Amino acid sequence: MVQAGGSHVTDPRDQATHPAPVLPFEAALVARGNKVDAIRSYRGRTGVGLRAAKDVIDGVETGETPIAPDDGVAQNPVLSVRETMPPPSMDEVALIRAGMKVWAIKAYRKRTGADLKTAADVMNEYEQHG
Helix extents (H) in 32-89: 35-46, 50-62, 81-84
Separation between Cα atoms, residue 61 and residue 35, nearest integer Å: 10
Q: Spell out the per-residue pLDDT of the chain, length 130, in tens.
A: 445 555 544 444 444 456 788 888 888 888 888 888 888 888 877 788 889 889 999 998 888 887 877 654 444 444 555 566 788 889 999 999 999 999 999 999 998 888 888 889 888 888 887 6
CA distances from 64 to 8, 22, 43, 56, 60 (A): 28, 11, 18, 8, 6
Contact (CB, 8 A) for 5 and 52: no
